[in-house]
Amino acid sequence: MFDFIRNHQMNIMLVLCAACATMTVMLFLTKFLSKKRKWILIGMEIIATLLLFFDRFAYIYAGNPTFTGYIMVRLANFMVFSLTSAIVLTFNFYLIDLLRNEGKLSVIPRRLIITGFVSLVGILVVIISTFSGFYYYFDSQNLYHRGPGFLLCYVVPVICPLIQYTVIFQYRKCFSKFIYTALSLYIFVPILVGVIQIFAYGISIVNMAMVLVSVSLYFFTYLDVNAAIEKAHIIEIESFKTEQKRMQSIFSQLALAFANTQNLSENTAQIAKEIAERAGKSEEDCNKVYYSALLYNAGYEALSRIKDYPFLSETALYVGKDYDESIPLFSRIITVAVDYDKMIHDPSVPPFFVRDHFLREAGRKYDPVFSNIAVHILDEGTKNGSFETYSHKLETELICKEYRASISSGIAVERNVTDITFDSIPLEKDKAFSAPSIILFDSYDKLVQTTQESINSNKYLEYGEVWFDAHVISTGARNIEIRNITDSPKDGKEGSYKITVCRYEDHLLLKLLSAQKAFEVIVALPSASKSAYLSITGENACISNIKVEQTEQISQENDIPRIAEKLNFIDRIESDIPNVQIVKPLEAFTKGVEISDKMNLFFHAQSLPDANLIWHCPYIILYYSDDKKVYGKNYREYAMIKYDGETNDSSEFAENSLIMKKTETFKNWEEWELQNKAGYESQIEFFKNGNEVTLRTQNKGIFIQNTSKIKDGTKEIYVALSGDQVALTDIRIR
């Protein structure tokens, strides 16, 4: 390596001189440094350039006996030795400037004052050495030789930088990582090379190293400034974001305050924002939807004065208008949110009606995309379409002066056997009659209704009333019978009452026990699809200690004697697959059939008489299970498509793409429901290609096409039919 430097050091020196000169020009043009530091760095680069420049001349004219050679050799060596001390002195100035600015020091460390003084002494000794030959001398051939004091010339470039580094290390926390790296290189690289230089005679690697670290000083200074600018930019952006959030918070508070004074609903705004988020809108658009929904009711005229937010007035102008693609996006979202919020918080409107309303009005009053999102939000509180929105805490005490003056919340009658106990004493003992009773009914909100409006909105149907003296009134039930009456039963206690109740399909069994009588009541409901609830009431009675306990015992078919004919809507022709009657959502399923390409599934469908919602229709289920049954072993559901055009979202097992269109033959949902109750023939086409299954069907003006891309690699994919309030018969595979 030393041979290479020795053979090419003239060219290396020339290149390094050019590099230093370039750095000098760049520093002249630089604007990101303070004036003082800029001139210190320029001085260092100029000194480094001259150092190599004259060192190169010293080698060029060495041994040249001419007058020019005589002068140039002496001038060049003088400049090299004096500039070596000068560059240490200039670095001292640079370090002092850093400590005063970055370090905020008012008193400069004494060590730097000493190194500055020693550097000046070093230049003075070079001048003396020129005439005394202390550092170097020249022979008659004009050749350079080391003098007796040559080693002392390394005091300034070696000892002084070490002293300077002690200061750098002490105040290292004042410097950035880039500046600290540059300072360390500036100190140790020349020292290390200086030690090598003592043993490598004839090459100027110290001077070359000093030039290189001078260039690196500018380079690292640039990196430091760049990092500082980037950090300042980040701080500026964060500050801007903080200010933006602060302004948005102020705007939000003002908007909320205004909304509260105008009785506007923040809840509507939250629903509108959620719909926008689920529709995949940007954060900015979601916030705009929120504020538009919060303030739309202020009116177009008021909002049009807010010039910086023109979307507020534009949105308000069209909220509530029937669906049209030309209506602004925010208006279409808020129209759905307003009605949704109003309906779900209206006690007289059951959730069934809300869901049914948004499905019916999709594409007419509401944007179908946002209407369907509202339905999905509502469905998150359901299980398989069975709404459990109403949850009433059962009363423990009732005061019934007049008959039905106080009525408990409904207790669900299900297949699980349920025990109900309570105590009852007369309110006024001097009155002849005092007794508790029970009411059997069906209602969306699980409460006994008393006004015609609530009866209509909750689809209230009362089956009958039962007293503990075995007196019964039948109203909406198909039949009620009393059996096994026992007077003064042994296990009956005065003032204590017990009811044991269960159901199987469309029949209820009640066992009533009091101190006076024990008997059974069998009730035949209008249909198996009807729900049944039991409420406690009475006359001139204080009813207390009401307790309900649902047991693990489940009623079976033979546990309740049948007193009315079973309603059968599948007593029709049976083909490849057995007929099935579904009275509640996904209560029953057809046998699973493996899907093959170009397979056709034919069947006859008829909605049951109690069907009154548009999703009371057939469902198509695509799935896999080891035993080929829906919800069987290792069950994985890929898609569930309802004949009203609804489908489940994509899942971890499959990605679904649904197309639902209303054709020219579709009149309205009311006509569609009437046609469903009359019954119709249906055909489903299946196409299978690798991991994709496409099904297509058209029924009473509703065209449905769904493509399921199976993700789990399953090749055996099954289809089964189910539904809600529907009878499926004559099922054929072709």
Residue-wise pLDDT tens digits, 438-466:
999 999 889 999 899 889 888 899 999 99
pLDDT at residue 704 in the model:
96
Could you please report the per-residue DSSP string of 516-574?
SEEEEEEEE-S-TTS--EEEEEEESEEEEEEEEEEEEEE--GGGS---S----S--S--
Specify the domain boundaries for CATH 1.20.1070 within the chain: 2-229
For 159, which DSSP code? I
Give the CA dihedral 714, 718, 723, 727, nearest 10 degrees.
Answer: 180
- The closest of 492, 514, 491, 509 to 435, measured between CA atoms, is 514
Strand order in the sheet with 692-699: 580-582, 726-733, 599-607, 680-689, 692-699, 702-710, 654-662
pLDDT digits (tens, 9 = 90+) for 278-297: 999 999 999 999 988 988 88
Q: Which two tokens stand for residue 77?
A: 């060596």
For tokens 């230089």, the residue is: 197
Longest Cα–Cα distance of the chain, Å, equals: 151
Pairwise CA distance, residues 616 & 511, whole Å: 34
Specify the domain boundaries for CATH 1.10.3210.10 within the chain: 268-387
**Crossing angle of helices 310-318 and 283-295, rounded to 10°:** 60
Strand pairing category for 533-539 and 411-412: antiparallel
Pairwise CA distance, residues 520 & 513, whole Å: 9
Regions in the chain scoring below 50 on pLDDT: 247, 250, 383-386
Q: Which two tokens stand for residue 522?
A: 């069998």
Pairwise CA distance, residues 230 & 410, whole Å: 67
The third-level CATH classification (topology) of the domain covering 268-387 is Hypothetical protein af1432 (1.10.3210)
- Residue 13's alpha-carbon distances to 10, 59, 196, 461, in angstroms, are 5, 11, 18, 105
pLDDT at residue 222 in the model:
67
**Is the pTM above the cut of 0.75?**
no
Could you please report the per-residue DSSP string of 138-158?
E-TT--EEE-TTGGGGGIIII
CB burial string 124-162: b at 16+ within 10 A, e below: ebbeebbeeebbbbbeeebebeeeeeeeebbebbbebbe
pLDDT at residue 254 in the model:
59
CATH architecture type of domain 580-733: Sandwich (2.60)
**Crossing angle of helices 177-199 and 160-170, rounded to 10°:** 160
pLDDT at residue 627 in the model:
95
For tokens 């390394």, the residue is: 154
pLDDT digits (tens, 9 = 90+) for 523-535: 999 999 899 999 9
pLDDT at residue 161 in the model:
83
Give the CA dihedral 480, 484, 487, 493, nearest 10 degrees.
Answer: -90
The answer to whether residues 335 and 366 touch, using CB atoms and an 8 Å cutoff, is yes
The answer to whether residues 626 and 633 touch, using CB atoms and an 8 Å cutoff, is yes
pLDDT at residue 383 in the model:
46
Mention the CATH class of domain 2-229. mainly alpha
pLDDT at residue 244 in the model:
58
CATH for the stretch 398-559: 2.60.120
- Residue 30's alpha-carbon distances to 34, 35, 225, 251, 483, in angstroms, are 10, 10, 11, 44, 107
Amino acid found at 91: F
Give every CB contact of residue 545 below 8 A, 6+ residues apart in sequence. Answer: 396, 397, 421, 422, 423
- How many CB atoms neighbour CB 35 within 10 A? 7
For 463, which DSSP code? E
The answer to whether residues 15 and 68 touch, using CB atoms and an 8 Å cutoff, is no
pLDDT at residue 185 in the model:
80
Specify the domain boundaries for CATH 2.60.120 within the chain: 398-559, 580-733
